[in-house]
Structure 1
Amino acid sequence: MAETQKSNGLRSLIAHQRWTVLLCVVTFLILMDGFQRQVSGLDQITLIAMSILFLGVVGATERRTWLRAVMVVPVAIWFVLVLLNEMSPSPLLDICLFLDSGILLFGCMIIGFRQLFAPVESEYERLASGVFSYLLMAVIWGLIYWRIEAMHPGSFNLPDDVSESPRGAFMYFSMITMTTVGYGEITPAADLPRTLTGLQAVAGTMFVAIFIGRSVGRLK
């Protein structure tokens, strides 16, 4: 009986704090990229965390909506690709996983952003969904930068201690670009990266303005 109550209590906690849980998963993914060189099997851990993230966002989406129905398809494709890649890894499967993850991450960001305007059970959850979307935006741009450098080496000026284009370095670059900090250790060296970093800085600034404006408006 006690175990049943604990189980129901955990389900209730997750149901009422789902965006907080998803925010923790995104934060974990970002932190893991910082240990890419130190932790063995990090790619498998990342795949598991991303799978949890995608399932969690679909579960957090309002039922019987077109957005939830659309998200189910790439999520199903994601798990099929992960299974195939584990059985027989190939460069083609890696590319398909990257493209599908990009679609899913973008969809997750849109769903999280919609919570700023949708009815929620608590304003705290609205805040968590906003921060979730903001961090996810940084992840998406970081993955794009990482892939650009992998396909066209020299697209970015990288420090000497950054080797083989690790994702962690581009996650860091993405976050400081979006927050317009710009320390300067990593800089774009080609036209496409320059354009993308400019767009990210604008998008990040606009997101913060909308987020703050919406949050303040809800408090009035």
Structure 2
Amino acid sequence: MINFPRYSFASLFICLIFVGIVYPFIPKLITQNILLKGSFSILLIASVYIFSHNKKALIICLVLAIPTALSTWLSIISGAPALAIVDNATNVVFFLYVIFELIKIIFSASVVTRNIIYGAMSIYLLLGIMWAFVYALLDLLIVDAFGGIGYQSAHDLSQFIYFSYVTLTTLGYGDMVPLARPVQSIAAMEAITGQFFLTILVARLVGMHISQASNGDS
């Protein structure tokens, strides 16, 4: 059985809840964007901590996390569009790797524990965060990528987090919609990914629980 920090998934899940749910309720201030970026820095640390049991994964995660953190804060300080593009791109790569490694951990586990459940929920929330950075990147690269009464022309990551979770959960669009064909294709891909992940995850967890119960009875 894989050994990982006992409370690592719980701490990651709490960070994700703050970024995705609690943060939007904070009043809009000049420092709000800094607070969001700071939250993502903490999220980076929590993600790296998960792999403290695996030297190879830890090294790769650190190699990806350092330029991600640097580009994040440099983009705030300079405000240069080029750095914003690098910031979003490095975040996409980092969270994609974290999701990949977490999926390996969850699907290689043989027993359903509270930590495994936290990990499974964290993967789902991380998918929303990763796709949010994809949309933020596309918004910088494609003219009129998004539209709607809820879309703000100023580059605001929080609106892409909202859009990403609406897409991931197939809630349905209303105030913000994808206009450019590439963005529409990416949004459809995220919706399909979200449904596939939930279906496969539930099947895996149920299978693990049945196997666990059968072994207990025997």
TM-score (norm 2): 0.80
CA distance in 2, matches of 1:206, 1:185: 26
The answer for unaligned runs of 5 or more in structure 2 is 211-218
CA distance in 2, matches of 1:140, 1:17: 23
Q: Which residue of 1 aligns with 2:213?
A: none
The answer for unaligned runs of 5 or more in structure 1 is 1-14
CA distance in 2, matches of 1:142, 1:159: 19
Q: Which residue of 1 aligns with 2:200?
A: 210
> Which deviates more from structure 2 when the two are superposed, residues 199-208 or residues 106-115?
106-115
Pairing of 1:41-190 with structure 2 (within 5 A): 41-61=31-51, 63-81=53-71, 84=74, 90-119=80-109, 123-159=113-149, 162-190=152-180
Pick the aligned partner of 1:200 from 165, 172, 190.
190
Identity of aligned residues (%): 19
For these two proteins, the number of residue pairs brought into alignment is 207
Deviations 1:14-62 (Å, cap 9, x if unpaired)? Answer: x422211111101111236525871331222222222222222222115
User: Equivalent residue of 2:28, what SS?
Assistant: coil
**CA RMSD between the two structures:** 2.8
Residues 66 and 21 of structure 1, relative CA distance in 2, 3 Å threshold: same
Residues 152 and 206 of structure 1, relative CA distance in 2, 3 Å threshold: same
User: Equivalent residue of 2:30, what SS?
Assistant: coil
TM-score (norm 1): 0.80
Q: CA deviation at 1:86?
A: 6.6
User: Equivalent residue of 1:16, what SS?
Assistant: coil
Residues 100 and 36 of structure 1, relative CA distance in 2, 3 Å threshold: farther
